[in-house]
Amino acid sequence: MDDKKEKLARFGIATKGFVYCLIGVLTTMAAIGMGGKATGSSGALESIAGGTFGKILLGITVVGLLGYIFWRMIQAFEDPENKGSDFKGIARRTGYFFSGLFYGFLAFTAMEILMGSQSGGGSGSNETIVAKLLNQSFGQYLVGGLALVFFGKAIYQWYRAFSDKFKSKVKESGLDQKARDLLINSGKIGYISRGVVIAIIGYMTLRAAITASSSQAGSTKEAFHFIQNEFGTFLLILIAVGLFAYGVFMFVKARYRRMVSV
């Protein structure tokens, strides 16, 4: 990968970290009554636009999101990390593709907010997707399948948190002990928190499949409300701090991860 492409990819990874840090900060502030709001990615983008120099910062964020999409598509199609073409490799690369697709929708949302045609917030893209699926033949089964995808992703996040492979990659990065400890600890906390949020989104999606009602589904924002209503504010704060830690993890990855040439 040439220098310009590598810088764009690193900037993209850092931008993902920035969005997660913002989600963590806004949700923590809302939970402790200091303003803010329990929100997902779209709401975080809206909050950027409303701040000082908001349009400029949001424009920079759009560029960063495009950089992250660029990196995910390289991982999916050019396979610089040699994931391979067996079942496991194809599954990983397909995951990279859909991750890039998700951040493509997020970048599009950011551009809509930037141009003033979208106010952010809303009911969440997951509810919209569920509503469309329920209108299809065997819609409830399709939504049930989507719920299983979320559950699988949640389990994978928890696996990453405790995986020796994750720790060994950090140890092989050539970082000093302090940086390695920061990367491992922030990554572990972040993966656990992401897994919890994704599992709850999966539960809400399964609930929508059983009831055949898209209003029962939800995205990150609704998952935060569910955590607070069912388990209390303290757990919501822990999850929000965990997502902030994941953002820190992405910042460190952006700086230190090895970019394999393609």
> What pLDDT was estimated at residue 173?
63
Q: What is the mean pLDDT of the chain?
A: 86
pLDDT in tens, 186-212: 889 999 999 999 999 999 999 999 999
Instruction: Find the DSSP H helices in 115-162.
Output: 125-134, 139-162
> What pLDDT was estimated at residue 28?
92
Residue type, 215: S
Residue 169 CB partners (closer than 8 Å, separation 6+): none
Least confident of 130-134, 170-174, 179-183, 206-210: 170-174
For the chain, strand residue ranges (E) read none
Mean pLDDT, to the nearest integer, of 243-261? 83
pLDDT in tens, 59-118: 999 999 999 999 999 999 988 888 888 888 898 899 899 889 889 988 988 888 888 755
Nearest to 127 by CA among 48, 47, 27, 211: 211
Rg of the chain over all Cα atoms, to the nearest angstrom: 18
Look at residue 203 and give its three-state secondary structure: helix
Cβ proximity of 99 and 92 under 8 Å: no
Of 176 and 157, the one with more pLDDT: 157
Query: What are the residue boundaries of the structural domains of the chain, listed by start?
Result: 1-122+250-262, 125-218
